[in-house]
Chains A and B, each alone.
Chain A
């Protein structure tokens, strides 16, 4: 058995600043076999992959990694490449303005005796490699002329030319058309025949059953199942992925929401660009509307188009029954809509500035004195009030935001929007990178806001969060809203089925009903 095994991980754990993101994980990558890796967003898949390729090193006291039976402690990317471990990321690492063969030999160009580039040999070897893998791509083509699928093939060819033994494919099918997926699977089977061991990560569970031999299911950094593909089915996988006891306490909504009245916000039509379906939804006063979906389902893009941060082809909105047009985030602010973006540090905050500067930045007009100049005292007072109201842990409003914890940084973003008197707040991944205690505080804060009549749209990739706090849930898949769920239907399994498209056939019906 063990001679089949290329790479073996035994009891691997990984922590970041005390938080365990991988706990005691085992896996075996075998010659000529495909191991599928599934799990929710944040289950630890990418951390595990980064350990495999040596970007991260496992915790010191955790288990061992063996490559072809020998202990390895690879800590650098170079070393893993020498061992024959390659990863194909979702974003390719090809140089677009170079030709196919130049990319394949990038960094290890062949030279003639005179020390010049030996283009003839490199071209010939590339052509031989591409045809052996059954690809009809010319080695002289420039990368930017290739389709996404062809670029992916070139990446794989490059890995093969590096004498790859273990190939990791991170969501390779996400950008591909069904026909291209077929071709990719053909190539994977070809590589299997060449004894390459592969790890295949995909959110599309049905694909796993077409191509994988084994499947490892991760949940919250733990391995919750390691199965032979023939012995399992999609429903079992979904259940293993999401099935957990909700240990987080979520604040209950005490105020019943009035769904009969005029919605706070009505999105009648919203179509981002020609390739996207048109969507519509409503948001009511005092409601938390969750938007669930897999990474790349177009959730953040939807709300960014909504507030005018990104361009949008068709957009018809009503606020309290009155037509409005929102062309940019500034007009969204004037209409009382604020976005708390997904990435706090690059989009939500000016991290080198003080708490005060961040909180007052978009409500400076309320801090003007009679001479129309800024009233410093009023600015400090207002920021101190926010710090007290939403309990930002700091000893001064002059503290630089960079020095705060993730949870407190998020509170500064919330404080900024609270100072603006906005009636609609859009939270994009509000608790990402925040520890459990601070999460609870953010949830309570959100309820406190809805009790004051604010409507909240919350995008989240964490199912317990969506299920725990939303009054209604929209599920998105491939830029479309495929389901609207309320009451009993807000359940992890149902959400995940819509998000992954398992029940696409009846999913269409539900979408049109919603």
Chain B
């Protein structure tokens, strides 16, 4: 009896893991944290942990929009470039004398426009997301370089600093913004019809279309959403640096995709969870922090990060294969 019960429990556990890959990611994160606590006495201190949280916020915010895109079976390579253009244009507007709040609005609008361009080409002109967003890696960044002449835009108004450096009720603003973005994404994905459509498109686009759902409209939506989250991230980063950097955000798309994948979302779409992405971003953050505390060189860090991503994708691929059998 006992044996059978155990077996059943084990089966249930395995089942939970195969259907909820974000649990596997959570276990990985916890293991990493436990290991770090033993290796470095510095790790489990409040100041270090808030430091990690703040560091991951930039990537995590982008990754929330990326999750939506990947859930539909798409990809958005232009997020880093959007981070850059929205940051520099907001900074430019502030330097021009436009009020801070309005300048932030301009930055967000720029992200939205970039998302619209992506979405229109992908869903209405039926071009591959990979190619469209690859092209859109260049256009915004090039525009930012043209606009700034290649120099950072400094001398931003002091009150702008609250977004990247300030805190509200004792919690640092980037962390608050991150949680707000995740709350919104969670509601959209899990409690609104749009969310169901996003999963359905990734699950089977043709069946979804034939069911009478306006697939094009929702695909456009996810790229706009991704454009806006990238812009939010760009403004947070700009405020953190207190300058509009035309070179900021390069390589951010890879970190965002890594967070989504490490969080257990299927790269082919249809499966995944927004909290998984947050965990994925945390794994990357803790890894970064831990290796820094250990004094590992940034070059070796890159090698390790790549290996972990490869391992995570391998696990998810084998899991998918075993499920097919």
Contact = CB atoms under 8 A, between A and B. Distances in A.
B196 A374 contact: yes
B206 A346 contact: yes
A162 B293 CA distance: 67
A346 B207 contact: yes
B46 interface: no
Interface of B, helix, strand, loop or mixed by DSSP:
helix
Contact of A361 (B190, B208, B271): B208
Interface string A418-432: 001000000000000
A309 B204 contact: no
B203 A350 contact: yes
B196 A352 contact: no
A362 B212 CA distance: 7
Contact of B192 (A330, A360, A374): A374
B207 A347 contact: yes
A351 interface: yes
A347 B196 contact: no
A332 interface: yes
Interface string B197-224: 1011001101111111110000000000
A176 to B, nearest CB: 30
Nearest to B271: A352
Contacts of B193: 364-365, 368, 374
A328 interface: yes
B191 interface: yes
B74 interface: no
Contacts of A330: 212-214
B199 A353 contact: yes
A338 interface: yes
B204 A350 contact: yes
Contact of A346 (B191, B199, B204, B212): B204
| Size category, B interface | 20 to 34
A416 interface: yes
Contacts of B296: none
B164 interface: no
Nearest to B217: A330
B264 to A, nearest CB: 14
A492 interface: no
B207 A350 contact: yes
A348 B207 contact: yes
Contacts of B192: 372-374
| Size category, A interface | 20 to 34
Contact of B213 (A309, A346, A349, A362): A362
A251 interface: no
A410 to B, nearest CB: 13
A384 to B, nearest CB: 18
B90 to A, nearest CB: 32
A338 B270 contact: no
Contact of B196 (A341, A348, A361, A372): A361
A304 to B, nearest CB: 9
Nearest to A346: B206
Contacts of A350: 200, 203-204, 207-208, 270
A329 B187 contact: no
Interface in A413-463: 416, 420
A341 B200 CA distance: 17
Contacts of A346: 204, 206-207
Interface string A362-379: 101100100011100000
Interface string A207-220: 00000000000000
A341 B210 contact: yes
A332 B207 contact: no
Contacts of A362: 211-213
Contact of B204 (A351, A374, A416, A420): A351
A191 to B, nearest CB: 41
B270 A357 contact: no
A334 B203 CA distance: 23
A291 interface: no
A352 B206 contact: no
Given A350-B200, A361-B200, A333 B212 contact: yes
Contacts of B207: 341, 346-350
B200 A353 contact: yes
A360 B213 CA distance: 12
Given A328-B214, A374-B191, A374-B193, A349 B204 contact: yes
A319 interface: no
Contacts of B191: 373-374
- Centre residue among A330, A350, A368 by max chain B CB count within 10 A: A350
A328 B190 CA distance: 26
B324 to A, nearest CB: 10
B196 A364 contact: yes
B268 to A, nearest CB: 10
Contacts of A365: 193
Contacts of A328: 209, 214
A357 B211 CA distance: 12
A35 interface: no
B67 to A, nearest CB: 18
A199 interface: no
A152 B164 CA distance: 67
Interface in B261-288: 270-271
Interface in B85-131: none
Contacts of A372: 192
B208 A309 contact: no
A339 interface: yes
A118 to B, nearest CB: 38
A329 B203 contact: no
A351 B200 CA distance: 10
B271 to A, nearest CB: 7
B200 A357 contact: yes
A151 B271 CA distance: 42
Contacts of B210: 307, 309, 329, 339, 341, 347-348
Nearest to A333: B212
Given A329-B211, A353-B199, A361-B208, 9 more contacts: A309-B210, A346-B207, A347-B206, A347-B207, A350-B270, A357-B199, A357-B200, A374-B190, A374-B196
Interface of A: 307, 309, 328-330, 332-334, 338-339, 341, 346-353, 357, 360-362, 364-365, 368, 372-374, 416, 420
26 contacts: A328-B214, A329-B210, A329-B211, A330-B212, A334-B212, A338-B212, A341-B210, A346-B204, A346-B206, A346-B207, A348-B210, A349-B207, A350-B200, A350-B203, A351-B204, A353-B199, A353-B200, A353-B270, A360-B196, A361-B200, A361-B208, A362-B212, A373-B191, A374-B191, A374-B193, A420-B212
Top 3 nearest A-B pairs (CB, nearest first) are: A333-B212, A350-B203, A364-B193
